[in-house]
Structure 1
Amino acid sequence: MRQPQNGRDDQAGATLRTVVTAVVANLLVALAKGVAALITGSAALWAETLHSIADTGNEVLLFIGVHRSKKKEDPRHPFGYGQERYFWALLAALGIFVLGGVLSIGEGVRSLLRPEPLVSPWIGVVVLVAAACFEGYSWRVARRQVLTRARELDRTILEHLARGSDPATSTVYLEDSAALVGIALALAALVLQLLTGWRASDGLASVCIGLLLITVALRLARRSKSLLIDEAAPEDVVRPIREAIVRHGWIAHVPALEVIFVGPGQLLVIVRVAPVPAACAAPAHELVGQVDRLRDELLHMPAVTEVAVTVEDARG
C-alpha cells in the first residue's frame, strides 16, 4: 500500500505554477532588456539579457522535469519518476553557468578592454526598473512556496534551501534572487556612468553579474547532484519516522534505519528491527501482523512512498 498521491500532486501543482510564472516573467524581461541593450550598447544590459534568456530556458527545463516527474511508477521504475526533476534541474544549473555566467563575464571583459559611450542610457534605466517589477513578482511567488514548505517542516528558508528535496522551486527562487541583484548591479552601472562618465562601470557590472550567476549555478548543481545519488533525508525528516517505529512495544531496538529521497517529497524507508523476546516466542503469524501494521503506519506518514522492514533476531 503506497501513500496517497494527493499531497504530492498538490505540491507538484504548486511547483508548476511557480515555474510557469517565472517563465512568463523572464520571457517578457528578456525581450525588454534585449531591445534596451541594442539601443544603449550597455555591456551590463547585454549581461542581463543573457541572464534572462538563460533563466527562461532553464525554467522550461524545470517545467519538463516537473511534468515528467508526475508519471506513475511502472515495472522499470518501481519508485516512480520523481528523480526526473533532479536531472532537469542539473541541466538548468549548467545553463545558468554557461549562458548566464560565462557569456556575461566575456561581455564584461570585452567592454573593459574597449569601453564605448552609452546611447540613450535612460532607456536602459527605465527597462531595468520595469524588469525589477516583473522579477519581483516572480520572486514573491517562489518565496511564498519555499516559505510555506519550510514552515511545514519547521525550518528557516536557508535551512530548507539546503535540505529541501524539490530543486525546481529552489532553482526559481535562487534564480529570481540573483536576477534582482543583477538588475541592481546593472542599474547602478548605468546611473554611475550617467553621473560620472566612468565607462568601466558598465563592464565591471557585467563581470559581477557573471560571477554571481556562476556562484548560483554551482550551488544548484551541487544540490541536484546530491539528490541524484540518493541522498539520505536530513535528521528533521528522519526523527519522526524513528519515533513512530520505537513506539511499537514489540520492538526491542532499531539496529538500522535508512531514509532516502527517491523524488521531491518522496521517501524510501528501509528499517531493520529487533523484536523483544516475547514477540520472538509468539506464533509467526502474530509477528508478521505486527510488521504489516508497522509498515502501514509508516506508509501513511507524510512523504513516505515505500517501506521495507526486516526483522532480525534480537539475540543476534
Structure 2
Amino acid sequence: MATKHTASSVFTVLLALGANVLVAIAKTVAAVLTGSASMVAEAAHSWADSGNEVFLLQAERSAARPRDDAHPGGYGRESYVWSLFAAVGLFTAGAVVSIMHGVSELGANEPEADYLIAYLVLAVSFVFEGISFLQSYRQARILADERGTGTVEQVLMTSNPTLRAVFAEDAAALIGLVIAFAGILLHQLTGQAVYDALGSILVGVLLATVAVVLIDRNRRFLLGEPAPDRAHRAVLAGLLRHPEVEKVTYLHLEFVGPERLFLVAAVDLVGNDRESDVASDLALVEDYLERDPHITEAVLTLSRPGAPALSPRALE
C-alpha cells in the first residue's frame, strides 16, 4: 500500500537523481579542464550517486508490490536488496576509484589548474547538493518528530532504506565538496599537488565509511531486524483492546520492508470455546491486526497454560 511517506521517498530520490546528474556533468567537465585529482574524485562520487538513485527507485517500486500467495509477507525486503546494491556501488564506483586515483596522483607533478572553474563548479554543486539534502533532512525530521526520536537516530534506525541512503549520500556529498575545496585551495596556496591528491583520497575514505554503514544496515534488515520497543507497546496495547483477547504471552515484531512488520503472537482468548470456534476467533483477530497498513502479516497462536502475561508497562 502506498503511503504519504512512500510518495515522499520517491520525490526525495528523484530530486537527488536530478541534482546528482547535473552536478556529475559539471564536475566531469571541470575535472577535464583543471586536471584536479579532487575534482576527479568528486566526479566519480556524483556519477556513483546518480547510478545509486536508479537502484533506490527500483527499491521503492519493488517494495510497493502487494503481497500474494507466493509471498504472504509481501515484497518489502526486496527494497533492502536494491539498497544493498546501491551501497556496494557507492563503495566500488565512488570510494575505490577516488582512493586509487588519489594514490596514483601522490607523486605526480600536477600542472597549475584553472582554479576559478574548480571553485565555481564546487559552489554550484554545493547549492544543488544542499537542496537535495534539505529535502531528505525534512523527511527524516518529520518521521523523527512522529516517533519522538532524534533526526540522526531516525536515519540510522529507520526501516526505510531509501531515506537512509539519500540522507547519507547527500550529507557525504556536502562534506566531500568541502574536502575537495580544501585540497584545491591548499594546492593553489602552496603549489604542492599532494594536497589535491590527498583530497581525492579523503573523499574516497569518506565514501567507503558511508558505504560500509549502509551495507551493514541493509544486511541487518535482510536478516530480520526486530521492531523497536515503542512498536511492541503499541501493538500489545492494540491486542489487549480487542474484545476476544484476554492476555498476550508472547509477541514478536520483525521488519519485512519499509514501515512494514511481520507479527507473531501467542494469546489467551476470552472464554473456553470449542477448537473450531477458537480457530475462527484467532482468524478474526489476525484480520483486525492486518487492517493496520504497517502490519503486513499477523500469525496468532494460543498461549501455553500458565504462561505469564505481557503488559505494555513491562516493555518500557
TM-score (normalizing by structure 2): 0.90
Cα pair 1:66 1:84 within 8 Å, conserved: no
Distance 1:181 1:198, change over 3 A: same
Pick the aligned partner of 1:227 from 221, 225, 229. Answer: 221
Report the secondary structure of 1:113's partner residue: coil
Per-residue deviation, 1:169: 1.2
Deviations 1:218-239 (A, max 9, x none): 0000011111122211212222
Supply the distance in 2 between the matched residues of 1:309 and 1:131 (Cα, whole angstroms): 53
Cα pair 1:44 1:205 within 8 Å, conserved: yes
Cα pair 1:252 1:314 within 8 Å, conserved: no
Pair 1:63 & 2:63 matched: no
Cα pair 1:108 1:203 within 8 Å, conserved: yes
Distance 1:74 1:244, change over 3 A: closer
CA RMSD of aligned residues (A): 2.0
**5 Å matches for 1:1-316?**
5=1, 8-248=2-242, 251=245, 253-275=247-269, 279-282=270-273, 291-292=282-283, 294-301=285-292, 303-315=294-306
Equivalent residue letter for 1:142: S
Cα pair 2:76 2:258 within 8 Å, conserved: yes
Bigger shift: residues 286-295 or 75-84: 286-295
Equivalent residue letter for 2:249: P
Deviations 1:225-281 (A, max 9, x none): 111122211212222112222345765543321111111111111100134xxx343
Question: What 5-or-longer segments of structure 1 have no aligned partner?
Answer: none
TM-score (normalizing by structure 1): 0.90
Report the secondary structure of 1:268's partner residue: strand
Cα pair 2:108 2:193 within 8 Å, conserved: no
Question: What 5-or-longer segments of structure 2 have no aligned partner?
Answer: 308-316
How many residues align? The count is 307
Per-residue deviation, 1:212: 0.3
Cα pair 1:42 1:118 within 8 Å, conserved: no
Per-residue deviation, 1:158: 1.9
Structure-1 residue corresponding to 2:312: none
